[in-house]
Structure 1
Amino acid sequence: MTTPPKTSQAAGRVWQRMLSGRRLDLLDPSPLDVEVEDIAHGLARVARWNGQTSGAHIFSVAQHTLLVEAVMRERNPRIDARLRLAALLHDAPEYVIGDMISPFKAVIGESYKAVERRLLAAIHIRFGLPAALDEAIERQIKAADRGAAYLEATSLAGFTKAEAKRLFGSDPGLPQTMQDDYLTPWSAGKAEKRFLTRFQALCDPGS
């Protein structure tokens, strides 16, 4: 598929109105139109695994990103807070475009990925991160993401450990107390609040 144009001319309405009042252009997103409150609100209401998880609530993308950051932190407790912020924000574009399952992303192809990359770059710039992360950092985040997916798959989505290991790699070994917290689906309000609290802590690690 062809890459979507960077401008929104002649493309109809391509912006999303946020509760903050911001209007975010999906094809040419400006960092000035990105607000963390909008991100937290949206991600807390987007379901992982297409909603096919156990529990009284959906397992939200907001909760997933917190789990990814926790896995990354457990693997390397001395890792810089800004890198953990990048982990927390790794799926932030989904507050606009939703969480499309990986098999469907593969069907759609490059068009989806191009939109996702532009949104993530705008989000990074808004919060003081490089538009594109170093490849080594990307690998660390991806490894933590796969570890989180393993835990979600086996605890919430009905996968056997063998299936999950084949698809996502090994169990990341997160302490049981943390698993009990992060893998119990939260309400949207709790997920939103926890996301904002963690975001603030990572932005102001000395406060």
Structure 2
Amino acid sequence: MELLPIRRAILSVTDKSGLAEFAAFLHQHGVELVSTGGTKKAMADAGLPVTAVDSVTGFPEMLGGRVKTLHPHIHAGILADKDDPEHLKTLEAFKLQPFDLICVNLYDFAKAAASGANLKQAVEQIDIGGPTMLRASAKNLHSILVVPSAEHYARVTAELSANAKNGTLHAPLALRRDLAVDTFRRTSAYDAMISDYLGRAPQ
């Protein structure tokens, strides 16, 4: 679709600069905010209503936080093609709700690697759920707006505002495509950094 209505969003970020303002903008336009951990706390502390991911999935965070968002209630909502009636029927059959915006940036693995942490400690800072959501969202750019960095907040805010209709924000396809391109660039660089570290890290 050319203009995507934005009604439901996941926000899960390491870099929280500008988060409160961006989330407040979404909330003011009726967007449901879903989040995890520190991001959820930051938005709640800013006075914003936030739905916890574990209330969406029906499962608590587990394995020391390794498993939070890896669940059909999250990923079916991200990967559903809103232009495909069969996908929409599947969501309805399993009582799954789609997402429209995914705002995620990744664990700071470079900081962990540079800190002198041992291999066991460093690998705990390899983000799994974040890249998975980012890649899924970028793949599904026809049905999702992915926001992989705080540096995009100003453009996203401006373009969603410019395309608001009847009180609902809309994301144009050109914006979604641009940010999908940037998302794959970032996840590729992230994986390359991890591969380089693992190849040279002491045991």
Structure 2 length as normaliser, TM-score?
0.28
Higher helix share: 1
Structure 1 length as normaliser, TM-score?
0.28
Higher strand share: 2
